[in-house]
A and B are shown apart, each in its own frame.
Chain A
Amino acid sequence: MKSAPFDYHRATSVDDAVAVLTASDGEAKVIAGGQSLVPLLSMRMAQPTVLVDLNGLAELRSDRPTVTDGRARFGSMTRHAQLAIQTHHGLAAEMAGWIGHTAIRTRGTLGGSLAHADPNAECPALALACDAALSVQGADGVRTIPAAEFFAGMLQTALADDEILTVIDLAVPRRWGFAELARRHGDFALVLATVTELADGWRVVVGGVEGTPVRLADAEAALSSDASTDEVGRTVEESIVAYDDLHATSRYRRAMAAELVRRAVDQARRTQGEAS
């Protein structure tokens, strides 16, 4: 289980990284924490010719996020471990604590997890739940992609080959709830659910049922009309089509989505708001 050969480029700036990506014609890959990419390299499921390392880029790190107008901005190289201990975004801290294990969280990054776009991962659901605005930089300059348009499918995003995710701008929910079901401590979720109250109302997001995290409009509507927790749960079960895989059937995923949403709703309704 050893990688195929590649060249290594330690990026000196985002511009420099983009330049290398652009020059490589889609054959280069960015490495952030490497916690998802390196296993793929070692199994030779990915064989880029060049690895562009973002780890030296202070501009992408944020030991402390900037918080303005009820939104928190994180650099894409924010490690899961940092996200878990920061106090500006409670839901992000909670969800980051569920990612893998200490040694994974010390390296893995918020940006890497979003770019990897695993439907069972915490960060993509977090992004959708908090109406993330994702800044990306490529050969054509900088653009901002809303989370709702960023995730294109299982392990697929709207990022072009030459684009780098630089900043993740998350709304800080007034109230939130989060629940996850995994087979073992630290595993990717079988199913996870978030319930967030943002300035424009409630969001209900579940991960692990489709190729991307999904927002559930019916559940959101039910929640906004003060429906009971059970009623919200029922709409969840009716509104999703979950996939079957090795780890769970569609039926179980749907039922668990409903159960986890119920738990998250209860938690959100119990808590006090944290942003104003």
Chain B
Amino acid sequence: MTTDRVTTDRVTTETKVELSINGRRHVVGVEPRHTLGDVLREQLGLTGTHLGCEHGVCGACTVLVDGEPTRSCLVFAVQMDQTEITTIEGLAAADGTLHPVQEAFSACHGLQCGFCTPGFVLTAVHLLATNPAPDRATIRRELSGNLCRCTGYVGIISAVERAAVERAAVERAAVERAVTNAAAVAASAADEPSSPRH
């Protein structure tokens, strides 16, 4: 399981960890000191997770670990054994169709250079999962753990607001569809001659 490697003066061991990333299982050998962010980027080629400070302040490296927003620069990959991780690469559909939050970021110009964007999008996805209808002030507070240097935040706040509204609309439509379907089923059931089942 472990192999020894000589660095300048200390011997470190490599450990195997099993990570489920965006629904796919990966077994990787890591040194204990390798942060999750570095392992995603350097070993797994998932370079969508960005490192803006490596000391927990900028939020660019945020990923979801078992659904919770987590600074991937502040956890070590060895600690993440057997967890489910969602990175920015895991949001869009396989055909490239954007996730509604990504879509809203594009529509509202919630990104410029795009470096902070993965962290913002994942934080926003989590926010909307826990608070489906935040107002702008709430969004501002809840996203304050992520720094963006380009946008002045206006487009980002609008994007999250829009994603919430559109999600609500989609859900309303789904509920309405379900209600209509149920009514239709009920109606057709009523129309059908009752067949004895027993």
Contacts and interface: CB of A to CB of B under 8 A. Distances in A.
> Are A and B close enough to touch in the complex, i.e. CB under 8 Å?
yes
Contact of A101 (B10, B13, B79, B144): B144
B75 interface: yes
Contacts of A34: 74-76, 79
Interface in A1-36: 1-8, 10, 31, 34-35
B70 A106 contact: yes
Interface in B72-106: 73-76, 78-79
Given A5-B31, A6-B33, A39-B55, A103 B145 contact: yes
Nearest to B71: A103
Interface in B134-162: 141-142, 144-146
A14 to B, nearest CB: 18
B117 interface: no
A52 B7 CA distance: 22
B110 interface: no
Given A4-B10, A38-B75, A106-B70, A101 B54 contact: no
Interface residues of A, number: 32
A72 interface: no
Contacts of A8: 15, 32, 76, 78-79
Interface of A: 1-8, 10, 31, 34-35, 38-39, 41-43, 49, 51, 53, 55, 81, 100-104, 106-107, 184-186
Given A7-B13, A8-B15, 7 more contacts: A5-B10, A6-B32, A7-B32, A49-B10, A104-B145, A107-B70, A107-B74
30 contacts: A2-B54, A3-B35, A4-B33, A5-B12, A5-B32, A6-B12, A7-B13, A8-B78, A34-B76, A35-B56, A35-B74, A38-B75, A39-B55, A39-B56, A39-B74, A41-B33, A42-B54, A43-B55, A49-B10, A81-B68, A101-B59, A101-B144, A101-B146, A102-B126, A103-B62, A103-B71, A104-B56, A104-B145, A107-B70, A186-B144
